[in-house]
Chain A
């Protein structure tokens, strides 16, 4: 990735955050969770997934699943920026005239399957990855999961199966922002040592700063991390990244701001771009 590429990604990540902020009004959205994985989604759609508006039905495309469905504003925003979703549809956020609601669904181009109920998408992705293998295809299947979501037992079933079926075409990106909905993960149901858990389940594991595009590039270039094994990227992120007034705030979950607050947040975002938060 050269300097120009990096600058483009960082600019796109800012625009995606602007979209997210604009979705935090008139009903609002899960802004902290969206900001936490915004850079991951931007990275995947620009640098990793071979998904474009022209190949959405091609069985050889890569597959992306946002398992932490409540972070969907990051996905909506990115899909707009990569020209998959019509920009106008963002105006329909939470309106019954469209299907741009708090969780992803298949009426959104690029969304492979609806999500929102935590602990589902990994097993769905396992099925897709199995079929790619069955057909001898080399496409990749990527899932972004929340760390709090790892409480769900169904994920661990799916990891067992993924590992048993040697699904090295499967990449799980854990958005490790260290928050559940309301409390810190380590204060409630501690996940650490997390690497060891994934390794024990037969996965290859790598850590990366989840807001650092250069680091992500380096990490994804190393896939699969272990031959014949599913890969887990533990992406260390910050809930609310980009808006210091919201960062690491346990009391900010579903946020519904006033228009005035939105203006302030946009200002905050742009003031904050000087502080290079894309570096870990």
Chain B
């Protein structure tokens, strides 16, 4: 089962759904012939697509609108905010090749502020699946939600068997350690998982949280990580500003909880375009590189403690 087939099953069974695209069919190539008139391609018009999605939603439809993540969240931002957001309409935005997944496209195509932008919109929720299996586990609930939803599309192969219990606002607890918590969303889950294994081989106890929805965030899981582990790592293929690091910081400040936080993100710069493997290595986001950064931080903490 892949995204396209899952979407086909859901939308075929329920007339409320219309599948839309701004001429970005990579993930839904076979749907036009199946859905007929309920497949609406508006051409390369992200703004008009979102406006039309609002009109369709006013008529009781649930539009599932596809475009490249950067154009969906940036070019059409005001339409998303003003039509889907103010209207609080159940429009589902599926952003293609978000974050590092835009690999060699270059900065024009790098959606590395999409989470920041979408999360400031009242009513808007955000689903960032770890891989295609995770995407399929959450898809039906996300589509059925009355809220507008931004989905960071991700069709990578899974590196673990994900928990089939999905709840909007609940993280998947992959492992439950006490030394360090790695909080991750989206495609970097695989690298986080590899880092976890490497750290465990060094004798560290690692908690790995696949956040799934970053809005609403699993606040209880964030607070438990801060209280029960020595270090909280926020890992994301996104700008440091406005993404998971910001979300976690806001939760901790609001709840007056202190924690050692190690943010791993893009600090005020776009990433060097290349094929995905090269991007990860160049930017320091491979499993071993992540493990190394965490290990250094943990050892530094231990050193500091000894000296006190």
- A residues contacting B by CB (< 8 A) are 59, 112-114, 117, 119-134, 153-154, 157-158, 160-161, 164-165
CB–CB A113/B54 < 8 A: yes
Asked if A128 meets B59 with Cβ closer than 8 Å, knowing A113-B54, A123-B47, the reply is yes
Residue of B nearest to A121 (CB): B51
CB–CB A157/B45 < 8 A: yes
**In the complex, what residues of A have CB within 8 A of residue B50's CB?**
123
Interface code B40-64, partner A: CB below 8 Å = 1, 0 otherwise?
1011010111111111111111010
Kindly state the separation between the CA atoms of A82 and B82 in the bound complex, as whole angstroms: 29
Query: Which of B51, B54, B87: most chain A Cβ within 10 A?
Result: B51
Query: Which of A114, A123, A127, A128: most chain B Cβ within 10 A?
Result: A127
Residue of B nearest to A112 (CB): B58
CB–CB A134/B38 < 8 A: yes
Asked if A120 meets B40 with Cβ closer than 8 Å, knowing A125-B55, A127-B56, A157-B47, the reply is no
Q: Is B275 on the interface with A (CB-CB < 8 A)?
A: no
Interface code B157-186, partner A: CB below 8 Å = 1, 0 otherwise?
000000000000000000000000000000
Question: A130's contact among B47, B55, B82, B86, by CB below 8 Å, is which?
Answer: B55
- Chain B nearest CB from A78 CB (Å) reads 21
CB–CB B52/A120 < 8 A: no
**In the complex, what residues of A have CB within 8 A of residue B55's CB?**
113, 123-131
- Chain B nearest CB from A172 CB (Å) reads 14
- B residues contacting A by CB (< 8 A) are 18, 37-38, 40, 42-43, 45, 47-61, 63, 78-79, 82-83, 86-87
Asked if A164 meets B83 with Cβ closer than 8 Å, knowing A126-B52, A127-B51, A128-B56, the reply is no
CB–CB B43/A161 < 8 A: yes
- Chain B nearest CB from A114 CB (Å) reads 6
A sample of 6 cross-chain residue pairs with beta-carbon separation below 8 angstroms, ordered by A number, consists of A117-B82, A124-B51, A127-B54, A127-B58, A127-B63, A131-B55
**In the complex, what residues of A have CB within 8 A of residue B79's CB?**
120, 123, 154
**In the complex, what residues of A have CB within 8 A of residue B38's CB?**
134
**In the complex, what residues of A have CB within 8 A of residue B53's CB?**
127
Asked if A114 meets B52 with Cβ closer than 8 Å, knowing A131-B61, A134-B38, A154-B79, the reply is no
Kindly state the separation between the CA atoms of A112 and B79 in the bound complex, as whole angstroms: 16
Kindly state the separation between the CA atoms of A134 and B39 in the bound complex, as whole angstroms: 11
- Chain B nearest CB from A137 CB (Å) reads 10
CB–CB B48/A154 < 8 A: yes
Kindly state the separation between the CA atoms of A134 and B56 in the bound complex, as whole angstroms: 10
**In the complex, what residues of B have CB within 8 A of residue A119's CB?**
47
Question: A164's contact among B18, B43, B54, B63, by CB below 8 Å, is which?
Answer: B43
CB–CB B58/A113 < 8 A: yes
**In the complex, what residues of B have CB within 8 A of residue A158's CB?**
45, 48, 51-52
When A and B form their complex, which 4 residue pairs have the shortest distance between CB atoms, in order from nearest?
A127-B55, A123-B51, A127-B52, A157-B48
**In the complex, what residues of B have CB within 8 A of residue A128's CB?**
55-56, 58-59
**In the complex, what residues of A have CB within 8 A of residue B47's CB?**
119, 123, 153-154, 157
CB–CB B43/A131 < 8 A: no
- Chain B nearest CB from A161 CB (Å) reads 5
Residue of A nearest to B20 (CB): A127
**In the complex, what residues of B have CB within 8 A of residue A120's CB?**
51, 79, 82-83
Kindly state the separation between the CA atoms of A132 and B83 in the bound complex, as whole angstroms: 19
Residue of A nearest to B42 (CB): A161
Kindly state the separation between the CA atoms of A128 and B53 in the bound complex, as whole angstroms: 9
Asked if A154 meets B51 with Cβ closer than 8 Å, knowing A130-B40, A131-B61, the reply is yes
Kindly state the separation between the CA atoms of A92 and B59 in the bound complex, as whole angstroms: 30
- Chain A nearest CB from B66 CB (Å) reads 15
CB–CB B52/A124 < 8 A: yes
- Chain B nearest CB from A149 CB (Å) reads 14
CB–CB A127/B43 < 8 A: no
Kindly state the separation between the CA atoms of A59 and B82 in the bound complex, as whole angstroms: 24
Taking A126-B55, A131-B59 as given, write out 11 further A-B residue pairs in contact, using a Cβ cutoff of 8 Å, ordered by the A residue number: A113-B87, A120-B79, A123-B48, A123-B55, A130-B52, A131-B55, A134-B37, A134-B38, A154-B51, A158-B45, A161-B43
Kindly state the separation between the CA atoms of A130 and B60 in the bound complex, as whole angstroms: 12
Residue of A nearest to B55 (CB): A127
- Chain A nearest CB from B168 CB (Å) reads 26
- Chain B nearest CB from A106 CB (Å) reads 8
Kindly state the separation between the CA atoms of A133 and B59 in the bound complex, as whole angstroms: 12
**In the complex, what residues of A have CB within 8 A of residue B87's CB?**
113-114
